[in-house]
Structure 1
Amino acid sequence: MTTLQDDLLGMLGARGALSDPRSLSTFSKDAFYYSPVLRELLDGKLADAVAAPQSVTELQELVRYACARSIPLTMRGSGTGNYGQCVPLRGGIVVSTHRLNRILALDEAAGVVRVEPGARLGQIERQARPLGWELRCYPSTWATAAVGGFVGGGFGGVGSIRNGVLWDGFLKSVTVMEVTPEAALHTLSGTELLGFIHAYGTSGIMVELEVNMVPAVPWEEAALSFPSLEQALRFGAELALDPLEDKRMVSLHEWPIPSFFGPLVAAGGVAEGRALALLELREGRAGAAVSRAANFGGELTYSAPASAYHAGKFCLSDFTWNHTTLWAMRSDPGWTYLQSNLSSDIGEALGQMEALRTFHGGQESGGSKVAFHLEIGRQAPDTPQERVFISALDLIYVPDAPGIAAAIAERERLGVSVANPHTYYLDADPRWSGQPVMDASARYNPLGLLNPGKLSAEADAGSTGR
């Protein structure tokens, strides 16, 4: 009798069928180690094998094989997610898309790029910009993150202040392979896309994506220091709400967070004891931002011209979104984080943060600590439903699950909703699309083989057809 590995070797060849201990460990993980809770829950969860198909035909053969044997399949992009999205809870096969990585076409007139799911966002951005286009939004892991993984597990990122989040027109269409003995393909658009955005790969296998872009802008970078986070936030909110100022990023960091950014510290971009605003602005507008910042006690500490954008040893987005947490953990592994949606009213948001500082015992108390990192963005831009959001990827120094649960409960008591990064359940995240994901799963994953265990029992029971 042949083994699973023998069968995969026959289908995919030596480069496409991996079962050595190192590969099993590497491909069965993502960045869930950001969470002490997920470290305990997910460490040691391994696939039985790793498959890396290089074509849709190979992937179809793999899906038919898995369906015939009821083998779970867990899709994986580049493994830059933070919630265990690609961790195989029930063994089976992790399907890596790193060989399905081609940019298939780029329509220069329409600004639409057609890609395979393993294409890297950095690769897309670098190919599109010389042709006059750029991504609508991307995570801080943009250089290595795969587009399929971003769509399946992300939210927004750099560019969200201007163009919104994944649900705001990032995709034009997606071609999905159903996980059935037929492994049929379906090209979807419009509201059907909701079943695949932030779905953790539970609803069908994305084999091709059409991504809408926006006209490229020459972006310059600026870091400005402020006496306090309050002054940085008041400046950042004013800049964010100014329709005459084009920006791609407004990222705010309370001290001591800026001290964690080693390359920026070495470049002289961090002022001791001061909050920091990291900005990407249209070329020629940094001077106006500096003048505006002076009204809030702000001073320029670092700048980079548009000619150096994405071309130097680092860019300011390397210190934003979830990369901020990574820099903090490198400085002190005791830090972890939450994802808190503060009030869009600045006064209320400041009140919420002050109450949370009291709850966490203050930054220098020797007990629990909190330090706020804020990202300002928009959802549904240029529509009647437009909403400016202040997303706090707040750093907390809380070592265990009870402490984290208490911190979340306190935020909810204060009216702060939390996308909990310490659970792998998709339906625990208020940002997922809910019923559209379950409906898509019932249609394209009727055997329940895709990433099983990532929906709670209650939500999985609500998926019609299973």
Structure 2
Amino acid sequence: MSRTEALARLRTELGAVDHSVDTRRLRTKSRDRFAQSPVLRDLLRGRNAEIFIAPRTKEELRVAVAACARHRVPITVRGAGSGQFGQGVPLSGGAVIDVTAIAGIVGWHGDRARQPPRTVRALTGTVVADIDATIRPSGWELRMHPSTAQQATIGGYIAGGHAGVGSCQWGILRDAGNITALEVMTVEEQPRLVELRGSEVTTVHHAYGANGIITEVELPVAPAWEWHELVIAFPEFEQAARFSVDLGTSDGVLKKVVSPHAHPLPQYFPGLAGLIPDGAAMVLVLAAVQSVPNVEDLAHACGGQVRYRCLEGKGVYGVPLYEFTWGHSMLHYQRRDERLTGLMALFPPADLYASIVRVHREFADLGPLHVEMKRIDGALSAQGSPVFAYESRAQLAAITERLQRAGLSIANPHTPVLGAGGMKPWGPREIATKRAFDPHGLLAQGKVDDLLATDVITTSTALPTSGWTYRLSDTAGR
């Protein structure tokens, strides 16, 4: 059966499930924020779905998935399209299934009569910020969220995200205990719903939807403190780095963001530039109100000055402070110069301050350094890289090798392919899950090396990256 015939039969079987083959809608819904990568801007342009499907319930999703399975139509699942690596781009056409309408809080887990709730469970299309807005009145909030929390869906965050706001306190999503459970729909003629718990969740987390469609997410909650935003200036970046490490290792200080930026990066944020003296480095901090005096003491001890402080989301810059951190940072940099880019370097915990300073000094000719402090596998680390003007893939490869010689582990943010990216371990457990949950290989085609290793996307985006490793990874057979 040809793809044209398969799509025609698929449309008939969808019935009342909302769908479209309008060219403009297909183009819009086949994109995410991949243009943030100068490598992917042209490479992924024009990679569009052939049909757009927007189920409103899990039952409608089941109807759509069953029809795609019967007619062997490839599937790309998307939420808000806020991913940055092409996770939401259909590399081989087929169907884009938008799950944003499958939204809402499923409920609390825990005996509310005798103890506070331990977890919150939400449908996959629920906007992350909406979860916090719902549960905050009870005194609780999510442990972490992406800088795109106002747009991103919880299913998209789990399927494509890694860390974020809160990771300097709680670690990364992959760390044990940060994802309680996932409900996943299989891609078969009769789709099943499978509950994953414990270490099983890591097989589907950050897999770009390649081995199962996330339908529900259950996450642990944390106390919702009164959070304050602080913009802190330092005469030298090395002082900013010292403060950031000291704050990150102060376990009694409650914080959600520790984000140092070397000069001239603070001047690239129009809303923040006036708060930071020209020539100074900057650290953005989100801290609980009771910990603000500790943050101020640490800043002063390192030569810093608090230039601005306000309640979370009440800043003169008009957006939550976290929207100047993590993946949002590059969006601001590129408004200044669209050639600017970076890599995803993981700094060694055992040599953290020294390695940050070493990279700042040795790569000063390349560009200013921006990192995010985060905990990973129980230790404080940092993620980021110098910000530099893109010239060519050969230049990216050379910088990758140079950073690795400096002792950093590098992941590639310029590819939609899991193996080439280097952030997601893809071994026997993940492969077994893929075969069990997606026996026809319809999900996220082209994004898993073992399925399409010679595809032009893989060969055109590969860099000589070491990738990241995790203490709790299943490394057998990798």
TM-score strictly above 0.5: yes
Kept in 2: contact 1:155–1:165 (CA 8 A): yes
Distance 2:316 2:26 in 1: 34
Kept in 2: contact 1:340–1:394 (CA 8 A): no
Distance 1:326 1:459 in 2: 31
Bigger shift: 53-62 or 320-329? Answer: 53-62
Q: Quote the offset at 1:40 in angstroms.
A: 2.3
Q: Give the match for residue 440 of structure 1.
A: 433
Q: Quote the offset at 1:353 in angstroms.
A: 3.0
1:279 aligned onto 2:281: no
What amino acid is the match of 2:122?
A: V
Q: Give the match for residue 383 of structure 1.
A: none
Distance 1:426 1:249 in 2: 27
Q: Quote the offset at 1:207 in angstroms.
A: 1.1
1:255 aligned onto 2:263: yes
What amino acid is the match of 1:374?
A: V
Q: Quote the offset at 1:309 in angstroms.
A: 6.0
Kept in 2: contact 1:120–1:144 (CA 8 A): yes
Q: Quote the offset at 1:356 in angstroms.
A: 2.3
Kept in 2: contact 1:321–1:393 (CA 8 A): no
Q: Quote the offset at 1:215 in angstroms.
A: 1.7
Q: Alpha carbons of 1:395 and 1:11: their partners in 2 closer, same or farther (altered >3 Å)? A: same
Kept in 1: contact 2:239–2:302 (CA 8 A): yes
What amino acid is the match of 2:275?
A: G
Distance 1:448 1:252 in 2: 42
Q: Give the match for residue 30 of structure 1.
A: 32
Distance 2:438 2:28 in 1: 26
Kept in 2: contact 1:122–1:143 (CA 8 A): yes
Distance 1:216 1:422 in 2: 35
1:404 aligned onto 2:396: yes
Q: Give the match for residue 229 of structure 2.
A: 221
Q: Quote the offset at 1:9 in angstroms.
A: 7.1
Distance 1:439 1:181 in 2: 19
Q: Deviations over 1:114-133 (max 9, x none)?
A: 11111010111111211111
Q: Quote the offset at 1:264 in angstroms.
A: 2.4
Report the 3-state secondary structure (helix = DSSP H, G, I; strand = E; otherwise coil) of the residue aligned with 2:245.
helix
Distance 1:303 1:399 in 2: 38
Q: Give the match for residue 341 of structure 1.
A: 346
Matches within 5 A, 1:116-195: 116-168=123-175, 169-195=177-203
The partner residue of 1:416 within 408, 415, 419 is 408
Matches within 5 A, 1:17-416: 17-107=19-109, 109-168=116-175, 169-265=177-273, 268-305=274-311, 313-344=318-349, 345=351, 346-357=353-364, 362=365, 369-380=366-377, 386-416=378-408
Distance 1:301 1:56 in 2: 48
Q: Quote the offset at 1:318 in angstroms.
A: 0.9
The partner residue of 1:4 within 4, 7, 14 is 7
Distance 1:311 1:114 in 2: 34
Aligned alpha-carbon RMSD (Å):
2.2
Q: Alpha carbons of 1:127 and 1:269: their partners in 2 closer, same or farther (altered >3 Å)? A: farther
Q: Alpha carbons of 1:431 and 1:26: their partners in 2 closer, same or farther (altered >3 Å)? A: same
Distance 2:222 2:434 in 1: 31
Kept in 2: contact 1:170–1:213 (CA 8 A): no
Kept in 2: contact 1:134–1:216 (CA 8 A): yes
Identical positions, percent: 31
Q: Give the match for residue 462 of structure 2.
A: none
Bigger shift: 19-28 or 42-51? Answer: 19-28
Distance 2:278 2:401 in 1: 33
Matches within 5 A, 1:455-466: 455-457=448-450
Kept in 2: contact 1:325–1:336 (CA 8 A): yes
The one of the two structures with greater contact order (alpha-carbon pairs below 8 A, sep at least 6) is 1
Residue ranges of structure 1 left out of the alignment (5+ in a row):
363-368, 381-385, 462-466
Q: Alpha carbons of 1:140 and 1:12: their partners in 2 closer, same or farther (altered >3 Å)? A: farther
Q: Alpha carbons of 1:459 and 1:433: their partners in 2 closer, same or farther (altered >3 Å)? A: farther
Q: Alpha carbons of 1:353 and 1:437: their partners in 2 closer, same or farther (altered >3 Å)? A: farther
The TM-score, its normalising length taken from structure 1, stands at: 0.90
Bigger shift: 395-404 or 220-229? Answer: 395-404
Q: Deviations over 1:187-228 (max 9, x none)?
A: 121121111110010001111121221121211111100012
Q: Deviations over 1:379-433 (max 9, x none)?
A: 23xxxxx121111143221222111111112112222111101111101233213
Q: Give the match for residue 469 of structure 2.
A: none
What amino acid is the match of 1:299?
A: Q
Q: Alpha carbons of 1:100 and 1:394: their partners in 2 closer, same or farther (altered >3 Å)? A: farther
Kept in 1: contact 2:241–2:356 (CA 8 A): no
Report the 3-state secondary structure (helix = DSSP H, G, I; strand = E; otherwise coil) of the residue aligned with 2:209.
coil
Kept in 2: contact 1:12–1:58 (CA 8 A): no
The TM-score, its normalising length taken from structure 2, stands at: 0.88
Report the 3-state secondary structure (helix = DSSP H, G, I; strand = E; otherwise coil) of the residue aligned with 1:348.
helix
Report the 3-state secondary structure (helix = DSSP H, G, I; strand = E; otherwise coil) of the residue aligned with 1:23.
helix
Distance 1:311 1:195 in 2: 42
Q: Alpha carbons of 1:446 and 1:217: their partners in 2 closer, same or farther (altered >3 Å)? A: same
Distance 2:6 2:438 in 1: 25
Residue ranges of structure 2 left out of the alignment (5+ in a row):
455-478
What amino acid is the match of 1:77?
A: G
Distance 1:208 1:317 in 2: 26
